[in-house]
């Protein structure tokens, strides 16, 4: 079995693996490159993928960097099924429809300028109708219900604990007459966090394709992160100030709301107005409520008993642009949660322009900030930033809370891999910037005495060519890592 990387090679976006066996060709994920205009120009389906002759797509989860090129795949002639869990399908619909709306809107604006300059109009990358075709091809997969893609190819989805519906995918083929199991990690969540179940234990593998987004470090502990979050909210209540939280609509927003609910319920903080100013985050939160049965049992109970609704009695959802604009005149203390998570688009931009130059404003960064994003500039402490083309001086207090990440840190990645290391599987590290993958490779070598491959874009790897476990490299006490 061979895999070829068409994304997420020495970077964290664009996940797309072409898998080829003697009798099968399929993709695992078909995600979008994101972050900068240059990255986004790479969003196409390479001819080598040969979309018309693919049997299927196996989708790990609904984040855009894993599903965002599916509409392009349809345009390139793909006709097969797209397998995903029901939760993933709902999230992917939401994210793809939103992306199509943004593409069409941006292109329309750009074309008005081009028309005035006498230039040819551009086509959006994909349109709503292309997303509709993706939706028609989705097929629901249940966790732990293996199914045959072909007589000689079995697929099983298990919980990855990353976002609603996220999965690691086990693929069993036959190599030289023997079963050969390849595990695709997808994106892995942290252990022991609210909302999501822990990543499920996978006991054996011949090859492991794993993400390394935070392969170089551990996050701050959740308890410390929650305490820090709580202290900021308490201070804001005392000072009657505003808190802005740029947040990713899917996953992070629900985590933040969960922790606010807990603070209010326990009486640790006086309940203050919480404005959820993002139509997409509002829809995603509803989807989370709808799929409470596949989430952590604690949150399932809080939802079914109505407790969560009581805890969040001060939550106000802002669907319309008018509701969003009205927040400019709202006085603190209050919390505004708005997208986009990296402060590179969306309603958070208006709130930042309006509030960053006030010293009684708090901005809490709760997720990964890519190079070049406004969020990164804020985290790096720039005294002045550009917001919507305007220079704004930063007098607000900027706090960065890494512990709410939906991604496993290094220790969690090793913990997930450990039960699979007995047979010395081939390990392929993807979905990480170079130094993150290399740090994880070093940690794997220290702990398990095994080498990893860190492939480049379009590299093809023959997974059947396994590495030996190097006994002499095993540490005396592996539990110290
Ligand atoms: Zn993800």
Cα of 60 vs centre of ligand 1, distance in Å, is 9
Structure tokens at 117: 């300059």
Cα of 271 vs centre of ligand 1, distance in Å, is 31
Cα of 187 vs centre of ligand 1, distance in Å, is 5
- In Å, the largest CA–CA distance within the chain is 71
Cα of 13 vs centre of ligand 1, distance in Å, is 9
Four-residue CA torsion sign, 273, 386, 66, 74: positive
Cα of 446 vs centre of ligand 1, distance in Å, is 27
Cα of 113 vs centre of ligand 1, distance in Å, is 35
End-to-end CA distance of the chain: 32
**pTM of model > 0.85:** yes
CB 44 within 8 Å of CB 27: no
Cα of 63 vs centre of ligand 1, distance in Å, is 5
Q: Partners of 141 in the beta sheet? A: 85
Cα of 61 vs centre of ligand 1, distance in Å, is 7
CB 146 within 8 Å of CB 128: no
Cα of 422 vs centre of ligand 1, distance in Å, is 28
Cα of 62 vs centre of ligand 1, distance in Å, is 7
Cα of 36 vs centre of ligand 1, distance in Å, is 18
Q: CA 361, CA 395: separation in Å to the nearest integer?
A: 8
Cα of 383 vs centre of ligand 1, distance in Å, is 31
- Name the residue with tokens 């068409």: 6
> Closest by alpha carbon to 82, among 42, 123, 29?
29
CB 416 within 8 Å of CB 189: no
Cα of 232 vs centre of ligand 1, distance in Å, is 27
Cα of 337 vs centre of ligand 1, distance in Å, is 20
Ion ligand 1 contact residues with beta carbon within 5 A: 63, 187
Q: CA 403, CA 63: separation in Å to the nearest integer?
A: 20
Q: CA 438, CA 114: separation in Å to the nearest integer?
A: 44
Q: Other C-beta atoms within 10 Å of 138: how many?
A: 20
pLDDT at 476: 42
Secondary structure of residue 384 in the 3-state scheme: strand
How far are the Cα atoms of 198, 275, 383 from residue 397, in angstroms, in the given order? 33, 19, 11
DSSP string, 209-233: EEE-TTTT-PPPPHHHHHHHHHHHH
Domains of the chain: 2-217+410-480 (3.60.15.10), 222-404 (3.40.50.10890)
Secondary structure of 167-185 as H, E, C letters: EEEEEEEEECCEEEEEEEC
Q: Partners of 5 in the beta sheet? A: 17
pLDDT at 479: 35
Q: CA 404, CA 254: separation in Å to the nearest integer?
A: 11
- Name the residue with tokens 């005396």: 476
CB 163 within 8 Å of CB 91: yes
Cα of 123 vs centre of ligand 1, distance in Å, is 28
Segments of the chain scoring below 70 in pLDDT: 465-481
CB 458 within 8 Å of CB 5: yes
Cα of 393 vs centre of ligand 1, distance in Å, is 33
Percent of the chain with pLDDT over 90: 86
Give the burial class of 139: count Cβ atoms within 10 A of its Cβ; 0-12 exposed, 13-18 middle, 19 or more buried: middle
Cα of 176 vs centre of ligand 1, distance in Å, is 34
* Sheet strands (E) in 347-468: 361-365, 384-387, 390-393, 397-400, 426-430, 452-453, 460-462
Cα of 408 vs centre of ligand 1, distance in Å, is 11
CB 208 within 8 Å of CB 420: yes
Cα of 209 vs centre of ligand 1, distance in Å, is 15
Cα of 85 vs centre of ligand 1, distance in Å, is 14
Strand order in the sheet with 17-20: 138-141, 82-85, 56-58, 25-28, 17-20, 2-5, 460-462
Cα of 213 vs centre of ligand 1, distance in Å, is 10
pLDDT at 80: 97
Cα of 304 vs centre of ligand 1, distance in Å, is 27
pLDDT at 40: 79
Cα of 163 vs centre of ligand 1, distance in Å, is 7
Q: Which residues contact 206 (CB under 8 A, 6 or more apart)?
A: 180, 181, 182, 423, 425, 426, 463, 464, 466
Q: CA 51, CA 70: separation in Å to the nearest integer?
A: 10
Cα of 59 vs centre of ligand 1, distance in Å, is 11
Cα of 162 vs centre of ligand 1, distance in Å, is 7
Tens digits of per-residue pLDDT, 235-279? 999 999 999 999 989 999 999 999 999 999 999 999 999 999 999
Residue 235 phi/psi, 5-degree rounding, is -60, -40
pLDDT at 469: 43
> Closest by alpha carbon to 348, among 395, 296, 315, 388?
388
């Amino acid at each position: 079995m061979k895999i070829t990387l068409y994304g997420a090679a020495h970077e964290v976006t664009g996940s797309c693996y072409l898998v080829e066996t003697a009798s099968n060709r399929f993709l695992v994920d078909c995600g979008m490159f994101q972050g900068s205009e240059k990255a986004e120009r790479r969003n196409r389906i390479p001819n080598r993928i040969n979309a018309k002759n693919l049997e299927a797509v196996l989708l790990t989860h609904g984040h855009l960097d894993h599903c965002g090129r599916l509409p392009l795949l349809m345009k390139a002639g793909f006709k097969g099924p797209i397998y995903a869990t029901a939760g993933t399908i709902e999230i992917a619909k939401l994210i793809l429809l939103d992306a199509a709306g943004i593409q069409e809107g941006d292109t329309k604006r750009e074309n008005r300028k081009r028309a005035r300059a006498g230039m040819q109009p551009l086509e959006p990358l994909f349109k709503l109708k292309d997303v509709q075709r993706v939706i028609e091809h989705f097929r629901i997969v249940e966790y732990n219900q293996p199914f045959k893609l072909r007589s000689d190819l079995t697929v099983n989805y298990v919980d990855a604990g990353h976002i609603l519906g996220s999965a690691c995918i086990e693929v069993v083929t036959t190599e030289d007459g023997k079963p050969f199991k390849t595990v695709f990690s997808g994106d892995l969540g942290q252990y022991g966090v609210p909302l999501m179940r822990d990543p499920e234990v996978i006991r054996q593998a011949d090859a492991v394709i794993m993400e390394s987004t935070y392969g170089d470090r551990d996050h701050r502990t959740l308890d410390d992160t929650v305490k820090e979050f709580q202290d900021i909210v308490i201070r804001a209540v005392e000072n009657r100030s505003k808190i802005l939280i740029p947040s990713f609509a899917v996953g992070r927003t629900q985590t933040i709301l969960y922790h606010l609910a807990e603070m209010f319920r326990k009486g640790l903080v006086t309940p203050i107005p919480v404005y959820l100013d993002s139509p997409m985050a509002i829809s995603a939160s509803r989807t989370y409520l709808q799929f409470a049965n596949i989430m952590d049992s604690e949150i399932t109970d809080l939802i079914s008993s109505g407790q969560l609704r009581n805890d969040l009695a001060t939550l106000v959802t802002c669907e319309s642009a008018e509701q969003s604009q009205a927040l400019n005149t709202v006085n603190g203390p209050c919390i505004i949660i708005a997208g986009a998570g990296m402060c590179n688009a969306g309603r958070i931009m208006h709130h930042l322009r309006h509030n960053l130059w006030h010293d009684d404003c708090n901005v809490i960064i709760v997720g990964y900030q890519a190079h070049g994003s406004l969020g990164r500039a804020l985290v790096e402490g720039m005294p002045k930033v550009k917001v919507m083309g305007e220079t704004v001086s930063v007098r607000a207090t900027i706090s960065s809370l890494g512990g709410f990440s939906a991604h496993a840190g290094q220790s969690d990645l090793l913990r997930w891999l450990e039960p699979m290391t007995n047979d010395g599987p081939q390990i392929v590290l993807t979905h990480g910037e170079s130094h993150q993958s290399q740090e994880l490779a070093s940690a794997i070598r220290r702990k398990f005495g095994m080498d990893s491959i860190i492939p480049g874009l379009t590299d093809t790897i023959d997974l059947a060519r396994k590495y030996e476990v190097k006994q002499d490299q095993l540490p005396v006490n592996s539990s110290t890592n």
